[in-house]
Structure 1
Amino acid sequence: MTERRNHRYAVAVAHRDDHWQCTRLDRTALTGLDEAVGAVRDAGSGDTLCGLFNADEAFFLILRPAPAGTALLLSDARAAHRHTLAAQALDALGAALPEDDAPDGLPAGDLGILTDLGLTAEGMAAVLARPDALPDDQLRTIAQRCGFAGEFDRVKA
């Protein structure tokens, strides 16, 4: 039997009453940046910390809405050539669109986006530097290092 893998999902992560809570978001959250930010904001109250988005194993996006703006981390800026969500995230970051044939794994955004959850910028760079890892594997590693892997796995399956 082959392992079933979910290659397209969006998850909001919150910390409530001393425990982690992950909420599966509707797939429409993957259609554009406004939809993604709105879905994460609508997922709960002010204790929602971030949204994790896996788009067909082409890239992942982490976003953290805040009153002063939304922090973003796009795992591979080259995905902006083919995916609206990635293109809009890259645009919001003010980053240049890389050549389509640029080297694999060109992250854009804030590598320290989850530092307060226990994953430093250096740790995030190490996760992103694994060329053989799919975005789902990378997000699982991120969830594990931040302490919410069990809840994340339950919700994204």
Structure 2
Amino acid sequence: MSDQFDDVDFALAAFREDGAWTVQELTRHHLVDVETLGEALRRLPGDFGAVAMIAMDEDFFLVVRVAGPFTRVLLSDVTAADEWELAASAVDFLGLPQPDEDDEQVPAGDLELLADLGMHPVDLGVLLEDFDLYPDEMLSDIARRIGFGELFDDVVGLTNA
């Protein structure tokens, strides 16, 4: 994965404590695989666990949510596993076969992982079907809907000056 670190657009964790959201950047050490990312998220405080959002090379994103012993994963494009180790790790975590060159660009994982925070699975599915949006735009929309959009945009650099 070391060669792929340069292609990380951003990697951040968000958690809500006492009703207030906190967003912080994740380090490269957290991005080895889904298991390592889950361990890092478990160390964060949070009333409802923690959520990681990672975007790679304006190509795909990964959302990982940890609450207690449970880890839930959403990969925006299963075909990313052909090229990206972190995406391959997500596909393995989900127990899916690795994609081949004939597979279509489809999401994989749990569309309900953010439902209790305000992102309805149907809305998430519709968002994932919009191939005109970049991963940072999709994740910004998700962050806004679950309550930390401004913080997300500030950390990622989407805030207008």
Displacement of 1:31 in angstroms is: 3.2
* Deviation for aligned residue 1:7: 5.5
Contact residue 14 and residue 21 of structure 1 kept, 8 A: yes
Contact 1:30-1:55 within 8 A present in 2 as well: no
Residues 1:56 and 2:57 are matched in the alignment:
yes
Match in the other structure for 1:111: 111
Contact 1:10–1:29 under 8 Å retained in 2: no
Equivalent residue, structure 2, for 1:68 = 69
2:133 counterpart of 1:139: no
Cα deviation for residue 134 of structure 1 reads 1.0
The letter for the 1-side match of 2:125 is A
- Residues 151 and 34 (structure 1), Cα distance of their counterparts in 2 relative to 1, 3 Å cut: same
1:87-140 CA distance string (max 9 Å, x none): 011011011223224333x11110011001101110110110101111111101
For structure 1, which runs of at least 5 residues remain unmatched after alignment? 1-5
TM-score, normalised to structure 1's length? 0.86
Is the contact between residue 24 and residue 156 of structure 1 (CA under 8 Å) also seen in structure 2?
A: no
State the Cα deviation string for residues 30-49 of structure 1 (Å, max 9, x = none): 3322332233223x224342
- Partner of 2:100, secondary structure, is coil
Q: Residue 32 of structure 2 aligns with which residue?
A: 31
1:4-46: per-residue Cα shift (whole Å, max 9, x none)?
xx9521111111222211111113323322332233223x224
Q: How far, CA to CA, are the matches of 1:37 and 1:12 in structure 2?
A: 11
Q: In 2, distance between residues paired with 1:27 and 1:57?
A: 17
Q: Which amino acid aligns with 1:119?
A: M
Do the aligned partners of 2:17 and 2:45 also contact (CA within 8 Å) in 1? no
Total equivalences in the alignment: 150
Which shows bigger deviation, 63-72 or 137-146? 63-72
Taking every aligned residue pair, what percent have the same amino acid on both sides?
Answer: 37
SS in 2 for 1:37: helix
Tell me what 1:3 maps to. none
Partner of 1:78: 79
Correspondence for 2:3 = none
Q: Which secondary structure state, in structure 2, belongs to the residue aligned with residue 137 of structure 1?
A: helix
Aligned to 1:14: 15
**Runs of 5+ consecutive residues of structure 2 not aligned to the other structure:** 1-6
**Taking structure 2 as the reference length, what is the TM-score of the superposition?**
0.84
